[in-house]
Amino acid sequence: MPAGRRRCGVEGCAHPVHVRGWCTGHYNRWHTIGDVQADRPLGPYRGSRRCEIDGCDDKHKARGMCGPHYDRWYAGQADSEAPATGPNADSGGKSSVEVS
Ligand SMILES: [Zn+2]
Ligand SMILES: [Zn+2]
């Protein structure tokens, strides 16, 4: 048995341990209602959004997208919205250091 990879302490739950010996879902349940309710299956995460990109089922991060898709979108935004000139684009043209 490989060390360091523990499973959720709730019987029948195969999720990796997140905190307190439970997976994220069971810990959240305990945190929310004070009981892991081990006899009730977690099922799909309810109330947690999923990425809205077609064919992607990753966890929602922002703007309806998962982390990777959001990062890609954000990079595209930066490309299209950023002005072509930066703060140093018009610095006078003298870039060489003159030593007198
Ligand atoms: Zn669990
Ligand atoms: Zn996605």
Q: Measured in angstroms, how far is the CA atom of residue 70 from the centroid of ligand 2?
A: 7
Q: Measured in angstroms, how far is the CA atom of residue 17 from the centroid of ligand 1?
A: 7
In terms of pTM, does the model score above 0.85? no
CA distance 46 to 88: 49
pLDDT tens-digit profile, the chain (100 residues):
455 678 999 988 888 999 999 999 899 889 888 999 888 877 655 556 788 888 988 888 899 899 999 999 999 987 765 555 655 555 555 556 666 6
Q: Measured in angstroms, how far is the CA atom of residue 61 from the centroid of ligand 1?
A: 22
| Four-residue CA torsion sign, 29, 67, 15, 41 | positive
3-state SS of 54-71? CCCCCEEEECCEEHHHHH
Ligand 2 (ion): which residues have CB within 5 A?
51, 53, 56, 58, 66, 69
